[in-house]
């Protein structure tokens, strides 16, 4: 096997790449192995060709008989067992089966005019392809994209798709990082999904897991133990070796994967899972390299990289020139936890450090993280870092996500844990606040289906996974009682997975909740004062009530009142943020209690006799010109008549 010098530069350092002149070039990193050969399966079958050894542990060469759709595996030394390609672009039979040659240039893209997403102004929608529709495929999901575009969503965040064993799963135990799972369709089905999204004005980012690999079907160790390290304790298995001996090719493998999704699937960015479990003491952190590769791979298109980071390290989203990692956004668990307590009053487990008061919610809107270095009792240590100078758009706020819904008994969604009024009011706060809002699939129409933890594993693993799930959920007081584990559905049961599939008919049946979300998103995107994302200030009006004020051009301000407690009836409120611009009075422009959303209606909160701010409600006000009556006088006392 000889590599032709006339061939163009490889797209990836490893993997199978179709040659312009015919055949396929294979390359793999297997330091410590003496011999590597590629074995073709299917048609032509039984072809085994030795590969050429290169420096630094690489083996490569071209096979003329191979072509797109050819199935193949590698033989390492004299092993009787054959192994899939670590950089396989598709595993049609799953992680334990053969790899398949894929030509990434065969798909005819239609999105040449797409320029990618800006870091500001996004409304994110998290989705799991396997449960987003009854069919659980890319094709079925693509058919519903117009409805998401109509809702006003601007970015889809797809939960992990790197292939994993079994019939279903969340995707966080992926083992074939370059192979979109066969469970949702072929690679070009994924490309078509992204293409359709772009044509509708929707960006698409992919959730990727670079902190561990799954326990079943992970063959990287057969190629080299250097992929992993025991120098760091990882919550989910062996840590990835980003800074030890032979880490160079490992780093390139993961960095290349980040660029691969942008290049070959036209994705607009990534969501990086649990970055606190990505360990790297190198001079340049691997996350910096990942961010750079994403931008390079986009070739001028705008990109978006958001990360999950439980310790809340603001350095991740600070600019490179300021010593940060240069990523675009970070999930804000603090906002979720406080909002969840505000909605339910429940403070068990990791909610114990939150009170759900108006002050907490207001601080999250104004400052991002609530914990910025002070003590966090649940973990018995300090948590978070200062956010000063960071734009609001750098924080992704949410009321629900895959983890937080699944961490409730029965996978119940927030609208089932609180009353409708509070749910609508908190939705208003989420979608109008200056941070980047994220919805979880089905949230926009109060889906009745749960979202549970499901993972199809071989029996010996399934037993351990279920035991681990029960142990994790016992941190919540309600699940500590004897026999409470019966309330936790078996992750390995197909019925658990099937129960989570959304019912598209509910989009119509729950039309009032869809209207609530659609109207709020349109206000966020189209109201000139709110969309400008200009200065926002706020005030606490009571333990459960707050006010947010946007200062608009020409004093075209907006005032949002959110009351999660009892009615507020007061003759006066000594808070200057409630004062309308000179010569105006406040006029309601939107109310969560509008009957169109299932509410009971609400009178204007400001009257000449004082304030009436309804319970469990939110109202958005704008100024309107007001001509003073003949009896009005400065100082508030009526002018004498005589």
Which single residue is written with the structure tokens 């992204």?
Answer: 194
**454 in Cβ contact with 496 (< 8 Å):** yes
Distance CA(33)–CA(224), nearest Å, equals 8
The single residue of 25, 308, 360, 606 carrying the catalytic annotation is 308
- C-alpha distance from residue 29 to each of 4, 34, 96 (Å): 19, 12, 19
The single residue of 163, 195, 243, 273 carrying the catalytic annotation is 273
Q: Is 245 a catalytic residue?
A: no
Both tokens of 626, joined, read 């007001």
State how far Cα 533 lies from the chain centre.
22
Report the SS3 class of residue 200. Answer: coil
Sequence-distant (≥ 6) Cβ neighbours of residue 640 within 8 angstroms: none
Which DSSP symbol is given to 107?
Answer: S
**504 in Cβ contact with 134 (< 8 Å):** yes
What is the per-residue DSSP string for 274-291?
A: -GGG----SSS-HHHHHH
In 3D, which of 265, 109, 142, 128 has the Cα closest to residue 183?
128
**184 in Cβ contact with 232 (< 8 Å):** no
Distance CA(289)–CA(133), nearest Å, equals 35
Rounding to the nearest 10 degrees, give the CA dihedral for residues 83, 84, 86, 88: 170
State how far Cα 345 lies from the chain centre.
26
Q: Is 313 a catalytic residue?
A: no
Write out the H or E segment, with its range, that includes residue 124: strand 124-127
Distance CA(121)–CA(524), nearest Å, equals 8
What is the per-residue DSSP string for 337-397?
A: HHHHHHHH----GGGTT----HHHHHHHHHHS-S-SSSEEGGGTEE-----TT--GGGEEE
- C-alpha distance from residue 243 to each of 29, 91, 230, 310 (Å): 17, 29, 12, 22
* Burial zone of 77 (CB within 10 Å; 0-12 exposed, 13-18 middle, 19+ buried): exposed
Distance CA(345)–CA(338), nearest Å, equals 10
Distance CA(270)–CA(295), nearest Å, equals 11
**143 in Cβ contact with 223 (< 8 Å):** no
**600 in Cβ contact with 592 (< 8 Å):** no
Both tokens of 128, joined, read 């799991």
Length of the chain: 642
Distance CA(525)–CA(510), nearest Å, equals 23
Both tokens of 432, joined, read 């109008």
Terminal-residue alpha carbon distance, the chain: 109
| Number of neighbouring beta carbons within 10 Å of residue 515 | 16
Distance CA(414)–CA(324), nearest Å, equals 35
Q: Number of H helices and number of E strands within the chain?
A: 16, 31
As annotated, the active-site residues are 273, 308
């Amino acid at each position: 096997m000889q590599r032709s010098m006339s061939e163009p530069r490889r797209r990836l350092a490893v993997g199978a790449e179709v040659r312009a002149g015919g055949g396929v070039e294979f390359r793999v990193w297997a330091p410590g192995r003496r011999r590597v050969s590629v074995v073709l399966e299917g048609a032509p079958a039984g072809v085994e060709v030795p590969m050429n050894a290169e420096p630094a542990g690489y083996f490569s060469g071209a096979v003329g008989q191979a072509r797109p759709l050819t199935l193949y595996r590698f033989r390492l030394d004299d092993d009787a067992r054959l192994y899939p390609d670590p950089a396989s672009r598709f595993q049609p039979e799953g992680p334990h089966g053969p790899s398949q040659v894929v030509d990434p240039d065969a798909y005819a893209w239609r999105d040449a005019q797409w320029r990618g997403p800006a870091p500001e102004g996004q409304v994110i929608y998290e989705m799991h392809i396997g449960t987003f529709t009854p069919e659980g495929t890319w094709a079925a999901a693509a058919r519903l994209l117009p409805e998401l575009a109509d809702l006003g969503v601007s970015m889809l965040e797809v939960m992990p798709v790197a292939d994993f064993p079994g019939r279903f799963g969340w995707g966080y135990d992926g083992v074939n990082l370059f192979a979109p799972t066969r469970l949702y369709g072929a690679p070009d089905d994924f490309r078509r999904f992204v293409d359709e999204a772009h044509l509708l004005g929707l960006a698409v980012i992919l959730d990727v897991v670079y902190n561990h690999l799954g326990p079943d079907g992970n063959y990287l160790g057969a190629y080299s133990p250097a992929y992993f390290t025991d120098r760091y304790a990882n919550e989910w298995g062996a840590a990835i070796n980003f800074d030890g001996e032979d880490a160079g090719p490992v780093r390139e493998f993961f960095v290349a994967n980040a660029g691969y999704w942008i290049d070959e699937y036209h994705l607009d960015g990534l969501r990086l899972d649990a970055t606190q479990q990505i360990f790297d003491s190198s001079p340049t952190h691997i996350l910096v390299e990942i961010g750079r590769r994403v931008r390079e791979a986009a070739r001028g298109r705008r990109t978006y990289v958001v990360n999950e980071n439980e310790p809340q390290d603001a350095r991740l989203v600070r600019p490179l020139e300021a010593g940060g990692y240069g990523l675009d956004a970070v999930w804000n668990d603090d906002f979720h936890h406080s909002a969840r307590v505000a909605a339910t009053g429940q403070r068990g487990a990791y909610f114990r450090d939150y009170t759900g008061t108006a002050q907490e919610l207001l601080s999250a809107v104004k400052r991002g993280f609530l914990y910025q270095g002070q003590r966090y009792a649940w973990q018995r240590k300090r948590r978070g870092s200062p956010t000063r100078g960071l734009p609001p758009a750098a924080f992704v706020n949410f009321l629900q996500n895959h983890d937080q819904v699944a961490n409730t008994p029965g996978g119940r969604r927030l609208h089932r844990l609180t009353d409708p009024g509070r749910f609508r009011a908190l939705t208003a706060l989420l979608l109008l606040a200056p941070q980047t809002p994220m919805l979880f699939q089905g949230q926009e129409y109060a889906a009745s289906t749960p979202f549970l933890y499901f993972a199809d594993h071989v029996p010996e693993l399934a037993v351990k996974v279920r035991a681990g799930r029960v142990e994790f959920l016992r941190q919540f007081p309600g699940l500590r009682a004897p026999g409470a584990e019966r309330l936790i559905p078996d992750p390995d049961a197909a019925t658990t997975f099937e129960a989570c599939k959304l019912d598209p008919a509910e989009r119509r049946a729950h039309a009032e909740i869809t209207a609530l979300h659609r109207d709020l998103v349109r206000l966020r995107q189209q109201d000139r004062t709110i969309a400008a994302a200009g200065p926002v200030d706020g005030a606490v009006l009571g333990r459960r009530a707050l006010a947010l004020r946007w200062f608009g051009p020409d004093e075209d301000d907006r005032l949002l009142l959110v009351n999660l407690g009892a009615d507020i009836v007061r003759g006066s409120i000594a808070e200057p943020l409630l004062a309308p611009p000179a010569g105006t009075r406040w006029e309601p422009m939107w109310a969560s209690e509008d009957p169109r959303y299932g509410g009971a209606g609400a009178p204007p909160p400001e009257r000449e006799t004082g304030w009436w701010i309804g319970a469990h409600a939110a109202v958005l006000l704008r100024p309107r010109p007001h001509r003073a009556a003949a009896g009005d006088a400065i100082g508030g006392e009526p002018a004498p008549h005589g």
